[in-house]
Amino acid sequence: MDGGFDPYAAAGTVGPEEGDETVYTLSGGDWDEIAQELASAADGEAVEERIVVNMGPQHPSTHGVLRLVVETEGETVTEVRCGIGFLHTGIEKNLEYRNWTQGCTFVTRMDYTTPFYQEVAYCLAVEKLLGVEDQVPERASVIRVLLMELNRIASHMVCIATGGMEMGALSAMIFGFRERELVLDIFEMITGLRMNHAFIRPGGVAQDLPPGAVDKIREFLALMPERMKDIEALCNENPIFKGRTEGVGYLDLTGCMALGITGPVLRATGLPHDLRKSQPYCGYEDYDFDVVTWDTSDCYGRYRIRMDEVRQSLRIVGQCLEKLKPGPVMIEDKKIAWPAQLALGGDGMGNSLDHIRHIMGESMEALIHHFKLVTEGFRVPPGQVYVGIESPKGELGCHAVSDGGTRPYRVHFRDPSFNNLQAVSAMSEGGMIADLIVAVASIDPVMGGVDR
């Protein structure tokens, strides 16, 4: 340290001399910076008056375990930095120690509000490495789109609910989570789980839609537009809500392009960029829907986009129900396909009595094949691919690398929340502390996807 200054020295080394009324109060911040300021004070240099506050990592307004190092002058934010890594789970590294199909159970846990999107991106990458994209059954692709769009609705409802709660609009929080529960009930009926499904597998999906699922989805499609009116009546023209969001968290198209921002934050600048249209996957080119944009580049525009995107997702879900034709839900290649045409067994665990009878009592070859497929997995030709899809928060990309074995050599995800968090400083510096909360909420980051 300059001049041999020791911040741990005895009292009197740092601080006011006798008769000096100036007192420096330091709290929070990074220790290196504080120590440097103390050294500057000891050398007689002027020290700017400031307060450094750690917001989080456990704070109700940071969307989980996000740490914001905020430098303020009064109520004005002069600098803000994001601290991440508090929710690191090592998912990407764990994928290297499981076979390709088992990887689905890991990737679904990243962004826990959008599990189906991670599953789809991962499975599309594996299928691209295998060269079997065109062999995935049409019914399986329709089910994938159906689940993704329902998941988009649930994710946007969480964003609107938590964002409203952080601004004090508790009714918006109640309404948002109420509608999300409707979607999670459908997920539980189809997959058996409310989240972390591992339902989408390389080559198709784990099993077909159960009896009653289509009727339940139709009931949801009829109810949801009316429920959305409650949220819009509460927020759209509410002067308090608009006062908290209009002109707040401003980030124009130039800023989004410079920072790699995608999703509703980008579309709120007026650019209609959506991978479902520009780079279709899972048959999205056959669906009729609009890319919603706004032109205010602020938090209010991002809220309106999410509400309108829910309506577009309802349109797509309705079209999915019309496209559901009878057929298989898993690829025909038995070297890849896990058993998918299953029926619920007497133990309630999803065992298919027909499948068990076949592998246990009819065909030794089928038993051996089943054993090798489940324990060892299938081999994927060496190579690397990148697949990008449009998640509710922006571009979700999966970069998968194979060395020709039964396990991934490397899988890396481009999580939109990770990239979008770069915009916090640009949106918030020069604004109020209260506006910082609204700006973070409008990005809708989920730290499970950021840290991985």
105 vs 197: CA distance, rounded Å: 7
Q: How many CA atoms lie within 13 A of 317 on its CB side?
A: 26
Question: Would you list the DSSP string of 98-110?
Answer: S-TTTTHHHHTTS
279 vs 133: CA distance, rounded Å: 15
108 vs 448: CA distance, rounded Å: 10
Residue 1 confidence (pLDDT) = 44
448 vs 112: CA distance, rounded Å: 7
pLDDT by residue, tens only, the chain of 452 residues: 455 555 444 444 444 455 555 555 545 556 666 667 666 665 655 555 678 888 877 766 667 788 888 888 878 888 888 888 888 888 989 999 988 888 889 999 888 889 999 999 999 999 999 988 888 899 999 999 999 999 999 999 998 898 888 888 888 888 889 999 999 999 988 888 888 888 899 988 888 888 888 999 999 999 998 888 888 888 888 888 888 888 888 888 988 898 889 989 999 998 899 899 899 998 899 899 889 999 888 889 999 999 999 999 999 999 999 988 888 888 887 778 777 666 655 555 556 667 777 777 777 877 777 787 888 888 889 999 999 999 999 999 999 999 988 899 999 999 998 899 888 888 888 888 888 888 888 888 888 888 88
**For the chain, which residues make up each domain, given as ranges?**
98-335+379-412+439-444, 337-377
- The secondary structure of residue 278, as a DSSP letter, is H
3-state secondary structure (DSSP) of residue 54 = strand
323 vs 16: CA distance, rounded Å: 77
Residue 344 confidence (pLDDT) = 58
Phi, psi of 221 (to 5 degrees): -65, -30
Name the CATH topology of 98-335+379-412+439-444: Cytochrome-c3 Hydrogenase; chain B (1.10.645)
Q: How many CA atoms lie within 13 A of 152 on its CB side?
A: 27
Task: Using the structure block, give the residue that is written with the tokens 């508090």.
Answer: 86
Residue 142 in contact with residue 283, Cβ under 8 Å? Answer: yes
Structure tokens at 285: 């080119």
Query: Which residues, 6 or more positions from 248, have their beta carbon under 8 angstroms from its beta carbon?
Result: 298, 299, 300, 431, 435, 438, 439, 442
Structure tokens at 50: 């400031």
Structure tokens at 393: 């928060």
- The secondary structure of residue 59, as a DSSP letter, is B
